[in-house]
Amino acid sequence: MTLSFNIIEQLKRKSGLSLTTPNDIEALAIDIQSVTGERLGVNTLKRLTGIIDDEREPRMTTLQIIASYLGYANWEQLAEMEGIANSDFDDTPEVLRSCDITLGTMVEVEYLPDRRVLFQYKGKDQFVVLESENSKLLAGDRASISCMIQDYPLVATDVIRDGKSLGSFTAGKSQGITFSLEI
């Protein structure tokens, strides 16, 4: 089982790690143990973050530790916040992965209350902001975005403005985003 996109993004924000390499996962295991006093195996965390493709269900104890690390009272509280049921069929949301689009592709992102950002893909998870309406992102900003998921928050792991890193940026925290490819 892989954790939901939102939970993985919470783990990234909490740990300050990209969670894309084995070294990141080892550092996450250490951070989880330092915060919770509980140890999770590196391979378990690789499965939960999708680095290892494995559909085994984690133990409830493992999920409780993840929830505790993220500041929740227990897994049930985290699952409720994420809208995760113990088992359910779900419509798969539309996902746009940067590795699946071509250089120069333009993507329009909208989110509440009245925000609009037009990005252009520059390669290697890098997007430049071409236009911005009512957003903290400004034209010319470069954002590191590996994927966009319809109706979920948009997470840029880093935003560069005038050569300076502003850190991570999340858009559409409450209602998620909508996106469309521009021709």
Summarised one tens digit per residue, pLDDT across range 33-78 is 999 999 999 999 999 998 888 778 889 899 999 999 999 888 888 8
The pLDDT value recorded for residue 53 is: 81
Inter-residue contact 154 to 177 (CB < 8 Å)? yes
Q: Which amino acid is at 41?
A: G
In this structure, is residue 89 part of a structural domain?
A: no
Where is the domain boundary, 52, 82, 112? 82
Are 105 and 168 in a shared domain? yes
Pair 74, 106 in one domain: no
Provide the domain count of the chain. 2
Name the helix (H) or strand (E) containing 48: helix 42-49
Domain end among 28, 51, 82: 82
Based on the fold, state whether residues 170 and 120 are members of the same structural domain.
Answer: yes
Spatial contact of 78 and 67, defined as CB atoms under 8 Å apart = yes
Residue 150 is classified by DSSP as B
Residue 103 belongs to what domain range? 95-182
> Per-residue pLDDT tens for 133-167?
999 999 999 999 988 988 888 999 899 999 999 99
- Same domain for 114 and 166, yes or no, is yes
In a domain, 60, yes or no: yes
Q: Per the confidence metrics, is the pTM higher than 0.75?
A: no
Pairing of strands 115-123, 106-111: antiparallel
Q: Do 74 and 119 sit in the same domain of this protein?
A: no
What's the pLDDT score for residue 163? 95
Co-location of 111 and 177 in the same domain: yes
Concatenating the DSSP letter of every residue in 143-181 gives: EE-SEEEBTS-EEEEEEEETTEEEEEEEE-TTT-BEEEE
Are 116 and 175 in the same domain? yes
Q: Which of 82, 111, 137 is the last residue of a domain?
A: 82
Instruction: Based on the fold, state whether residues 74 and 130 are members of the same structural domain.
Output: no
Same domain as 62, residue 118: no
Do residues 111 and 74 both lie within one domain?
no
Residue 118 lies in a domain: yes
CATH number, domain at 63? 1.10.260
Residue 87 has pLDDT above 50, yes or no: no
Q: How far apart are CA 22 and CA 10, in angstroms?
A: 18
Give the model's confidence band at 183: pLDDT under 50 very low, under 70 low, under 90 confident, else very high.
Answer: low
Would residue 88 count as lying in a domain?
A: no
Angle at 182 between CA 7 and CA 117, to 5 degrees: 55
DSSP lists the bridge partners of residue 119 as: 107, 129
Q: Tokens 């790690």 — which residue?
A: 17
- In 3D, which of 113, 112, 120, 165 has the Cα closest to residue 139? 120
Give yes or no: residues 102 and 70 share one domain: no
Residue 90 lies in a domain: no
